[in-house]
């Protein structure tokens, strides 16, 4: 019997997932160890079956094979979904009645990164549970070795059928441009586009782990330039982009303007609230105040929550919320769907809404209250110091009698608007954002933020030129 012991690089076990640079901080033997430890958790909770998928990165197949070997060594049956978008794996966990699921994916990170997202039962596997994997590996705290099995299952057709079951568009035939960004959502996006009414154009639909056309992160405006150009050229009704593993969405309207995550959530929430008046709609702490106001105006109960897809999913389950979203483009439907973040499904629901609209999406966007804000501002802060800085700022604000929401970091409300400072859970950085109704107000908010950073001994970042209409 082989004695199992393993040590991970200290940087790879994150709050929401496991992630590292392949060949440097993340290696095939790490994938085996994750399978061995995560598989032991599943077995100890009475499970017998785990679903596994992988994204389009060049090293994902090798990592998937080692992950499967580790799971099999726990005596588990492994359902191998193959190359897929992350939400397809989540769907497979339900469809195949799995007791856990693990996705090999580097998400929206550069091509040399990869990692693992997991769920236990039907719940996200994150936080202390991920940290426990490191302890289990170091101590060899795993179930006795036992021969398991694996088999391949093609889930794509069943997933597409289930997604399209919730198509609810009207008579209007849309013209849509899709951009999977050469990520692993490409094949399923092509399949869905072929079956939806209207005219559909898919760009960058072939899976290519080198991401030759642009980086697969739809929250960065530069990565949407090609999509915007195609929307304008085709005179399309909208364009839809995905991140590298298809769990985050980006949207461009008929005029080529970007709908940010909170603006998209407003459009989706208004529709959901027609059928579910009074429902709780959750958004992360980085979202615009406009979102929370518009949800309330539409008859919903807005709830501000912590940033992080695992944290949002857990809060949805706790509150019974039918819809949630993050500025990062994670959209979670529990209305007719399963509550996990699923960009292809969210896209189909959005298309249904737009197809029932009498006006173009650009008019809906333009009619939203106009505010001025900064994009998400990220600046380096030592890992050991970042949470301490936020605590110091919070204490000073309390002494000043400031109005503060502290659900995740500090979100400070003033007559001008609000500013946010929080510590990233995944990197050695602080994250800031400001929003005001005027340029002058925004400058005052940025000055308050800088003052607090300087008071904690940090060099004030340069916020010049960091304003955007929203």
- As a whole number of angstroms, the distance between CA 47 and CA 75 comes to 10
Element holding 245 (H helix, E strand): none
Count CB-CB contacts under 10 A for residue 59: 21
- As a whole number of angstroms, the distance between CA 378 and CA 421 comes to 10
Spatial contact of 40 and 70, defined as CB atoms under 8 Å apart: no
Under DSSP, is residue 310 helix (H, G, I), strand (E, B) or coil?
helix
- Cα–Cα separations (whole angstroms), residue 105 to 100, 108, 118, 197, 297: 16, 9, 10, 31, 38
Give just the sign of the alpha carbon dihedral 347, 351, 354, 356.
Answer: negative
- Cα–Cα separations (whole angstroms), residue 108 to 32, 246, 251, 454: 23, 9, 16, 32
What residues have CB less than 8 Å from 410, skipping those under 6 apart? 390, 393, 394, 397, 404, 420, 421, 422
Which among 237, 229, 233, 268 is positioned nearest to 253, based on CA atoms? 237
Is 107 designated active site? Answer: yes
Which among 107, 184, 321, 346 is annotated as catalytic? 107
Which among 56, 3, 13, 62 is positioned nearest to 34, based on CA atoms? 13
- Strands 301-305 vs 280-284: parallel, antiparallel or unpaired: parallel
Direct distance between the N- and C-terminal alpha carbons of the chain, in angstroms, rounded to an integer: 60
Q: What residues does 200 pair with on adjacent strands? A: 176
Spatial contact of 98 and 49, defined as CB atoms under 8 Å apart: yes
What residues have CB less than 8 Å from 334, skipping those under 6 apart? 316, 320, 321, 322, 323, 324
Tokens of 355: 């197809």
Count CB-CB contacts under 10 A for residue 256: 18
- Max Cα separation, the chain? 69
The region, left, alpha or beta by phi > 0 then psi within -120 to 50, assigned to residue 376 is beta
Q: Which residues are catalytic?
A: 107
């Amino acid at each position: 019997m082989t004695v199992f012991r393993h040590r991970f690089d200290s940087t790879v076990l994150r709050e929401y997932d496991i992630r590292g640079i392949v060949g440097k901080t993340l290696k095939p033997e790490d994938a085996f160890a994750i399978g061995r430890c995560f598989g032991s958790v599943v077995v100890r909770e009475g499970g017998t079956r785990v679903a596994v998928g992988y994204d389009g990165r060049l090293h994902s197949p090798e990592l998937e094979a080692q992950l499967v070997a580790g799971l099999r060594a726990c005596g588990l049956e492994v359902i191998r979904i193959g190359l897929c978008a992350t939400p397809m794996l989540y769907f497979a966990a339900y469809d195949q009645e799995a007791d856990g699921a693990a996705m090999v994916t580097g998400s929206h990170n550069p091509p040399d990164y990869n990692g693992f997202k997991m769920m236990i039962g039907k719940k996200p596997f994150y936080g202390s549970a991920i940290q426990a994997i490191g302890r289990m590996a170091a101590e060899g705290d795993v179930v006795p070795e036992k021969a398991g099995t694996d088999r391949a299952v093609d889930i794509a057709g069943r997933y597409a059928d289930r997604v399209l079951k919730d198509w609810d568009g009207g008579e209007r035939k849309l013209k849509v441009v899709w951009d999977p960004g050469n990520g692993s959502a490409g094949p399923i996006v092509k399949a869905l586009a072929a079956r939806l009414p209207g005219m559909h154009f898919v760009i960058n639909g072939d899976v290519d782990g080198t991401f030759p056309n642009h980086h697969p992160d739809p929250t960065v405006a530069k990565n949407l330039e090609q999509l915007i150009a195609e929307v304008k050229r085709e005179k399309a009704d909208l364009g839809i982009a995905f991140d590298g593993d298809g769990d985050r969405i980006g949207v461009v309207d008929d005029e080529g303007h970007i709908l940010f995550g909170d603006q998209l959530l407003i459009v989706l929430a208004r529709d959901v609230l027609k059928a579910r008046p009074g429902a709780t709609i959750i958004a992360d702490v980085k979202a615009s105040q406009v979102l929370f106001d518009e949800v309330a105006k539409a008859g919903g109960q807005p709830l501000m929550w912590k940033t992080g897809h695992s944290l949002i999913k857990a809060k949805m389950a706790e509150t019974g919320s039918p819809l949630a979203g993050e500025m990062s483009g994670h959209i979670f439907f529990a209305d007719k769907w399963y509550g996990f973040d699923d960009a292809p499904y969210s896209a189909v629901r959005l298309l249904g809404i737009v197809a029932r609209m009498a006006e173009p999406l650009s008019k809906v966007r333009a009619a939203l209250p106009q505010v001025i804000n900064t994009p998400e501002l990220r600046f380096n802060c030592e890992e050991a110091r970042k949470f301490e800085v936020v605590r110091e700022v919070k204490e000073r604000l309390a002494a000043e009698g400031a109005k503060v929401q502290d659900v995740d970091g500090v979100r400070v409300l003033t007559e001008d608007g609000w500013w946010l400072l929080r510590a990233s859970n995944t990197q050695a950085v602080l994250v800031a954002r400001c929003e005001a109704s005027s340029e002058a107000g925004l400058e005052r908010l940025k000055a308050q933020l800088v003052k607090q950073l300087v008071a904690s001994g940090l060099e004030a970042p340069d916020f010049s030129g960091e304003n955007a209409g929203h």
